[in-house]
């Protein structure tokens, strides 16, 4: 099964661009104590990621008959977001009002959610042959 697809790579590129803009905006708004703008930024970031995930995920499912219930995109999002957060901390770009431990807690809680998603992914894979749904294969 092909795990790394053109659509997943495109999603990752758009996600990294959005993630860097989000981290910059978050640090800027926190530094300037513009807390209402943090909520606006977070909402825009959520909608942006939902949109690119929907777009590239839909294109991926149309071009490949893989049945993965979105796990590859979820894992990619988790990995890239945490890498961006670590890099942001490493280069000292966090606002004085940001706590590095918050990044760790986000990674832990999100990791638990990802683990639960992985369990559902494994269960769903039991109903496939090499990642292709048995229903699609034998119609």
* b/e 86-100 (16+ beta carbons within 10 angstroms → b): eebeeeeebeeebee
Average per-residue pLDDT in the chain? 88
Over residues 26-83, the pLDDT tens digits come to: 999 999 999 999 999 999 999 999 999 999 989 988 877 666 678 899 999 999 999 9
For β-strands 132-133 and 128-129, DSSP reports them as antiparallel
pLDDT for the residue numbered 127: 72
Indicate the pLDDT class of residue 124, thresholds 50, 70 and 90. Answer: confident
Please state the domain extents for the chain.
Answer: 6-137
- CA 114, 119, 125, 127 dihedral sign is negative
Structural contact between residues 84 and 17, judged by C-beta atoms closer than 8 angstroms? no
């Amino acid at each position: 099964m092909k795990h790394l697809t053109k659509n997943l790579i495109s999603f990752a590129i758009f996600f990294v661009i959005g993630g860097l803009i989000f981290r910059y905006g978050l640090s800027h708004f926190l530094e300037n104590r513009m807390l209402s703008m943090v909520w606006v930024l977070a909402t825009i970031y959520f909608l942006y990621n939902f949109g690119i995930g929907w777009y590239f995920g839909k294109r991926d499912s149309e071009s490949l008959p893989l049945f993965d219930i979105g796990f590859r995109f979820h894992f990619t999002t988790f990995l890239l977001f945490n890498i961006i957060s670590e890099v942001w901390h490493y280069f000292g770009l966090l606002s004085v009002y940001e706590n590095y431990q918050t990044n760790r807690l986000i990674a832990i809680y999100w990791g638990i959610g990802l683990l639960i998603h992985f369990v559902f992914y494994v269960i769903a894979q039991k109903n496939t042959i090499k990642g292709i749904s048995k229903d699609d294969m034998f119609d």
